[in-house]
Amino acid sequence: MKRLRQLTLRIMLGLLVIPLFSFVTQAQSSTGVPVYKITREESKIDFAVKASISLEGTFEKWKATLTFASPDVSTGVLDVQIQADSVNTGSHMKDDKLKGNDFFDVKKDPYITFHSTKIEQTGPHTFDVAGTFTIRGVSKPDTLIFTTDSEGKNTGEITGTMAFDRKEFGMNAHIPFIRIADRVEVTVAFKVTRTSGPPLLFKQ
């Protein structure tokens, strides 16, 4: 009888510990920080400019991070760093010209960057990511779009085009025998996945 009482007591204590442990785990999770990863395999950065022949391509080397200080979306910071000399148009002649000092000037300014200064919710699952776009050492404000999945928990996309007048950035030259427009577009399309921590909190 004594052993039966001890066994019953242990079972009751176990049943009490399980919900208590669950509560502690949930509390720890709720005070954690969402961790999101930008998946390179499903993301890309392209560029394009209207010209008399096709002048578009991709940047092969870049890195980007999206970090949060809390589940509040407004605490997020997006940083993008592109290696300008990784431009790939499929033509060595075009690539060499774009890397030169008449265009990207990669030796003097090797990086094209975007640093967000504010994330603002514009819809149930859409956000404006305002920040500073820098190329050839010249900076200007620009805005990207952050769209979460329908549940707003695990995945999302960051898309947008950073467009600029190349002449305002010191790109006044032309490629021989090619007429080039002044407007240049750098387009990002990132796939974002939450890897740990609590989901972001959105305004309904």
Q: What is the assigned CATH class of domain 33-196? A: mainly beta
Closest Cα partner for 153 from 25, 58, 20, 35? Answer: 35
Residue 63 is which amino acid? Answer: K
SS3 state of residue 89: coil
In the structure, what pLDDT confidence band is assigned to residue 24 with cuts at 50, 70 and 90? very low
Query: Is the dihedral angle over the CA atoms 149, 153, 154, 159 positive or is it negative?
Result: positive
Residue 2 confidence (pLDDT) above 70: no
Q: Where are the domains of the chain?
A: 1-31, 33-196
| pTM of structure | 0.77
- pLDDT, one tens digit per residue, over 48-91 is 988 777 789 999 999 999 999 999 989 999 999 999 999 999 99
Residue 46 is which amino acid? Answer: D
SS3 state of residue 104: coil
SS3 state of residue 198: coil
Contact 202, 73 (CB under 8 A): yes
